[in-house]
Amino acid sequence: MTKRIILITGTPCVGKTATANLLTSKLNAKHINLTELATRQNLIVGKDAERNSIIINENKMKSKIHELIEKANKDTIIDGHYAPSVVPKKLATHTFVLRRDPVELKKHMEKCGFSGLKLWENLASEILDVCLVDALKAQRKGKVCEIDVTGKSVEEIVNEILDILDGRRECCVGVADWLGKLEREGLLSEYLKI
């Protein structure tokens, strides 16, 4: 069997790492969390104090990811919002973009301590499909799968991913239209503040 390189991406608080951890367990795969890798391997070039986030050296990250994928002798799951841009498209077999309704997402973000600019920028990213668009630009057509995780447990999300990987469910995009939803509900100006 050919090893699969599975990317899990999405805005903060959509459940990337929890999903990747459970999927890794179910597939007996190798898991690479990009934030942990960047910190552990000193692939950081600075810190964005305003957003309280790290700035990675993208070239070093790409090189390290390529090295780890080549060494792996089993499926590899890579999670991080920039995974599609640091994993070569010839290597990635599937890219799962996790999407969460902005109303639910805002609650999750606030619970995790997001506030101010960081909260509003990340909500805007989800509403405007930034991670999905980035994945579609960086990865192969037909290998990007959008999953609406709103109201779902990690187990339910992983089961959807397994169904796609096993061919029981179709990989598709166009699942979430948060901009249209918020506009229809009269909530757009309350959630899109950037």
Please report the domains of the chain, with CATH numbers, ordered by start residue. 5-191 (3.40.50.300)
Q: What is the pLDDT of residue 1?
A: 54
- pTM of the full predicted structure? 0.94
Q: Which residues contact 20 (CB under 8 A, 6 or more apart)?
A: 8, 31, 33, 77, 78, 79
pLDDT at residue 193, rounded to an integer:
87
The token pair that represents 180 in the structure block = 């249209």
pLDDT of residue 44: 84
pLDDT tens over the chain, length 194 residues: 589 999 999 999 999 999 999 999 999 999 999 999 998 988 888 887 777 777 888 889 999 999 999 898 999 999 999 999 999 889 999 999 999 999 999 999 999 999 988 899 999 999 999 999 999 999 988 899 999 999 999 999 999 999 999 999 999 999 999 999 999 999 999 999 88
pLDDT of 45: 87
Burial of 19 per CB tally in 10 Å (0-12, 13-18, 19+): buried
Cα separation, 140 vs 7, whole angstroms = 12
pLDDT at residue number 136: 96
135, 84 contact by CB (below 8 A): yes
